[in-house]
Amino acid sequence: MALKKIVERQTGVALWRQIADRIRLSISNGDYDQTGMVPPETALAQEFGVNRHTVRSALAALADEGLVRAVQGRGTIIERKDRVSYPISRRTRFSQGLGRQVKEIGTRLLGHAEVPASGEVAAALGVSPGALLIELRTVSSGDGRPLSTAVSYFPADRFPGIAEEYARLGSVTKAFAVHGLDDYVRVSTEIVARHADADELSLLKLSPGAIVMEAQSVNADLDGKPVEYSRTRFAADRMKLRIET
Amino acid sequence: MALKKIVERQTGVALWRQIADRIRLSISNGDYDQTGMVPPETALAQEFGVNRHTVRSALAALADEGLVRAVQGRGTIIERKDRVSYPISRRTRFSQGLGRQVKEIGTRLLGHAEVPASGEVAAALGVSPGALLIELRTVSSGDGRPLSTAVSYFPADRFPGIAEEYARLGSVTKAFAVHGLDDYVRVSTEIVARHADADELSLLKLSPGAIVMEAQSVNADLDGKPVEYSRTRFAADRMKLRIET
DNA sequence: CCTAATTTGTCCGTATGTATG
DNA sequence: ACATACATACGGACAAATTAG
């Protein structure tokens, strides 16, 4: 088999970071499950065609994330596997989906505000631009590790005080129920991937340079009337999105 | 308003690359649609809190991609906006989805081979590990720009010679029809995002350091028997995935 | 217990890339 | 274009801890 170049130089992305990303992916793919260890630094250096020092920088970054732990004389031990699978379906509910993958789900309300609808959001929600919306900003974690951060918009006339109910109940589904909305469905989802900005790095406690997947989605009641527009950013190296069609 | 830090230093990702990514995103978001130009270098330098040289490096990279064109004395002109929307549904068909977004869709067969099923692929296709599969490697483009590259696996006993039929017909759907399979559905899709490797950079003609979204999917016949497993990598800055549930 | 092999940790120096002014 | 500072990457050498025999 031909030698396969894995990492590229002079790209504006440091080799150690590219290598860290590849190793993180291998860990979450279970490539090292047999031993529970990352291959030796010299083997990785050969595999990626770089100096051992460069591999060490990559491993140091992963150790910093708490993903691995190096022990002199023994090797580099995998502390934790990654990527929680997040299901997206017609009946997507945040908490339910993560189910047995994480023991404890935490959702924190960062803040809320009443804002006029911008053009894009107005179009998605089917309201006129400038109509009053309630904006909710949240961060969700699994077992203490941040997984996603979201901004959600709800029509203020239909769901007055939804921020307070969300804060009290910790769930959009339950807050909807207070307003007599017992069921709703996901009508559209769009996904893009990009580098995280400084805000997202801090909220999601990401190692800098990390990637986020951004899902823009609309939920509607059973009559098809939109009730929620949200922009959720998932930490790409902690999550995969499972589409259920 | 507090000063918002947009780019971060000492992250293993060069500032010029982070800035290039942000500008690319702004372009595809339509932030500069009023003028059709990128803001002046000095304005960008101030916005991102960096030296003008660094902004110039970022713009040079975007010019290299053909996204913008700098004209002395006038400014930097936006040549092209980005992100084709790719629909994923129970009846996902590659060519149909891109529809009116691109005038011309090109699919190129990179190669094919008969290979034994690895554990992961075998599980997805519901065959025993080692069973013979036909592997297809393809690249798809819209209006001459590479959008995605895929590796697909088909059970060799059920679809012998499917590679040749695909090469002749240019479509998996049509190749299936030759074997009497008139309809099939997407049963599962998983999406992760990561940095592109060297292979993907070259196949998708990406600027180095770019992000890919990888979708692992299984198609099955109407009896629920898997007929195809594929791993499609989308150029993240040229595509968004639209989930239709 | 001792030795050799393996593996991570630390130090040196040098060259190139990145970012500023 | 020049000068400066720091980050990245390489190469080599050796120390320290652990494992294999």
pLDDT higher than 60, residue B1: no
State the amino acid at position A4 in one-letter form: K
**Residue A28, pLDDT score:** 82
Distance in angstroms: CA A22, C1' D7? 21
Q: Are strands B239-243 and B84-88 parallel, antiparallel or unpaired?
A: parallel
Mean pLDDT of A131-143: 94
pLDDT higher than 80, residue A153: yes
pLDDT higher than 60, residue A2: no
Cα gap A150→A188, rounded to integer Å: 16
Give me the residues of B, 71-90, that contact A with CB < 8 A.
Answer: 83, 85, 88-90
**Residue B146, pLDDT score:** 93
**Residue A218, pLDDT score:** 94
Distance in angstroms: CA B197, C1' D10? 22
Among B178, B183, B152, smallest CA distance to B165 is for B178
CA distance B219 to chain A (A): 11
Mean pLDDT of A189-193: 92
CB distance A208–B14 less than 8 Å?
A: no
Give me the residues of B, 224-243, that contact A with CB < 8 A.
Answer: 236-237, 239-243
A187, closest residue in chain B (CA to CA): B245
Among B31, B155, B197, smallest CA distance to A25 is for B197
**Residue A221, pLDDT score:** 93
% of chain A residues with pLDDT over 70: 93
Among A132, A151, A129, smallest CA distance to A229 is for A151
| β-pair partners for B219 | B186, B228
CB contact, 8 Å: A244 with chain B? yes
* Residues in chain B closer than 8 A to A61 (CB atoms): 12
Query: Tens of pLDDT along A41-93?
Result: 999 999 999 999 999 999 999 998 889 999 999 999 999 887 788 888 887 77
Mean pLDDT of B122-145: 92
CB contact, 8 Å: A22 with chain B? yes
**Residue B203, pLDDT score:** 94
Cα gap A197→B5, rounded to integer Å: 8
| β-pair partners for A116 | A132
Query: Tens of pLDDT along A17-27?
Result: 989 988 998 89
Mean pLDDT over the full length of chain A: 88
Are B62 and B68 in contact by the 8 Å Cβ rule? The answer is yes
In the structure, what pLDDT confidence band is assigned to residue B105 with cuts at 50, 70 and 90? confident
* Residues in chain A closer than 8 A to B4 (CB atoms): 198-199
Query: Tens of pLDDT along B45-68?
Result: 998 889 999 999 999 988 887 788
Give me the residues of A, 200-219, that contact B with CB < 8 A.
Answer: 201, 207-209, 211-213
Question: Which two three-digit tokens encode residue A50?
Answer: 């770089």
Q: Are strands B75-78 and B37-38 parallel, antiparallel or unpaired?
A: antiparallel
**Residue B2, pLDDT score:** 37
Mean pLDDT of A117-129: 92
Q: Are strands B184-195 and B211-221 parallel, antiparallel or unpaired?
A: antiparallel
CB distance B88–A243 less than 8 Å?
A: yes
Q: Nearest-CA residue to the C1' of C21? A: B51
Strand order in the sheet with B132-142: A84-88, A239-243, B184-195, B211-221, B226-235, B145-155, B132-142, B105-116
Residues with CB under 7 A from strand D: A 9, 14-17, 49-51, 53-54, 57, 71-74; B 10-12, 53
Cα gap A21→B39, rounded to integer Å: 33
Cα gap B91→B94, rounded to integer Å: 10
CA A187, B215, A205, B12 torsion-angle sign:
negative
Mean pLDDT of B92-121: 83
* Residues in chain B closer than 8 A to A236 (CB atoms): 192-194
Of A17, A90, A198, the CB nearest to B245: A90
Mean pLDDT of A28-40: 89
Give me the residues of B, 91-150, that contact A with CB < 8 A.
Answer: 92
CA distance B217 to chain A (A): 9
CB distance B245–A186 less than 8 Å?
A: yes
State the amino acid at position A206 in one-letter form: L
**Residue B100, pLDDT score:** 63
Of B20, B208, B245, the CB nearest to A89: B245
- How many CB atoms are located within 10 Å of the residue A130 CB? 11
Q: Are strands B132-142 and B105-116 parallel, antiparallel or unpaired?
A: antiparallel
Cα gap B215→B241, rounded to integer Å: 10
CB contact, 8 Å: B188 with chain A? yes
Q: How far is CA A9 from the centre of its chain?
A: 28
Mean pLDDT over the full length of chain B: 87
CB distance B12–A6 less than 8 Å?
A: no
B83, closest residue in chain A (CA to CA): A192
- Nearest-10 crossing angle of helices B15-29, B41-48: 110
CB distance B21–A195 less than 8 Å?
A: yes
CB contact, 8 Å: B5 with chain A? yes
Among B82, B243, B244, pick the best mutation site for testing chain A contact (most A Cβ within 10 A).
Answer: B243
Mean pLDDT of A213-226: 93
In the structure, what pLDDT confidence band is assigned to residue A1 with cuts at 50, 70 and 90? very low
* Residues in chain A closer than 8 A to B245 (CB atoms): 88-90, 185-187, 189, 243-245
Cα gap A62→A52, rounded to integer Å: 15
